[in-house]
Structure 1
């Protein structure tokens, strides 16, 4: 069951990267919306 462990850690890495990208995107969208002149 070594292969299962390997794929498991790979998916964990993928999920953590996805979460980081999601957080960065939310931050960028927030700052972009705040910096825009509201009409």
Structure 2
């Protein structure tokens, strides 16, 4: 989807995420931010 807007991308090391037990936090953050990016947010 191209809407002409600017975006930021963060690349995460999957092994580090699992090692530091951050998967739940990352997933939570994605569920908060994704609707805002796609326009499905309130």
For the pair shown, the structure with the greater C-alpha radius of gyration is 1
Q: TM-score, with normalisation over the residues of structure 1?
A: 0.39
Q: TM-score, with normalisation over the residues of structure 2?
A: 0.37
Report which of the two has the higher share of helix: 1
